[in-house]
Chains A and B, each alone.
Chain A
Amino acid sequence: MSADWPAWEVFVRARRGVNHVHAGTVHAPDAGLAIENARDLYTRRSEGVSLWVVRSSDVVSSDPDERHSMFDPAADKSYRQPTDYELPPEVAHM
Chain B
Amino acid sequence: MSGPTDNSPLLTYVLRQGDRSLVLAQRLLENVAHAPELEEDMALGNIALDLIGQARLLYTYAGEIDGEGNDENHYAYWRDDTDFTNPLLVEQPNGDFAHLVTRQFLYDAFAAPFWAALAMSSDESLAAIAAKAVKETAYHLRHSRGWMIRLGDGTDESHQRMQAAVDQLWRFTDELFEQDAVEEGLQAGGVAPDMEALRAQWTATVDAVLAEATLTHPEDSTMRNGGRRGAHDEPFSFLIGEMQVVARAHPGASW
Chain A residues with CB under 8 Å of chain B are: 1-2, 5, 26-30, 32-33, 36-37, 39-41, 44
Contact = CB atoms under 8 A, between A and B. Distances in A.
B37 A36 contact: no
B150 A37 contact: no
Interface stretch (B38-46, B114-122, B220-228): B38-46
Contacts of B143: 36
Given A2-B37, A27-B37, A40 B150 contact: no
B39 A44 contact: no
B146 A44 contact: no
Question: Chain B's interface: helix, strand, loop or mixed, by majority?
Answer: helix
Contacts of A30: 150
Contacts of B38: 27
Chain A CB within 10 Å, residue with most, of B36, B40, B139, B142:
B40
B37 A44 contact: no
Contacts of A39: 139
A5 B146 contact: no
B82 to A, nearest CB: 35
Contacts of A2: 36-37
B39 A27 contact: yes
B42 A41 contact: yes
Interface of B: 36-40, 42-43, 46, 139, 142-143, 146, 150
A27 B150 CA distance: 16
A66 B33 CA distance: 42
A1 B41 CA distance: 14
B43 A5 contact: no
B46 A28 contact: no
A86 B43 CA distance: 55
B39 A37 contact: yes
Contacts of B39: 26-28, 37, 40-41
A44 B39 CA distance: 13
A40 B37 contact: no
Contact of B42 (A1, A5, A32, A37): A37
22 contacts: A2-B37, A5-B37, A27-B37, A27-B38, A27-B39, A29-B150, A30-B150, A32-B146, A33-B146, A36-B43, A36-B142, A36-B143, A36-B146, A37-B39, A37-B40, A37-B42, A37-B43, A40-B39, A40-B43, A40-B46, A41-B42, A44-B46
A71 B39 CA distance: 37
Contacts of A40: 39, 42-43, 46
A30 B146 CA distance: 10
A87 to B, nearest CB: 50
B254 to A, nearest CB: 24
A65 B146 CA distance: 42
B140 to A, nearest CB: 11
Pick from A5, A32, A36, A39 the residue with the most CB of B within 10 Å.
A36
* Most chain A C-beta atoms within 10 Å of own C-beta, residue among B39, B43, B139: B39
B101 to A, nearest CB: 12
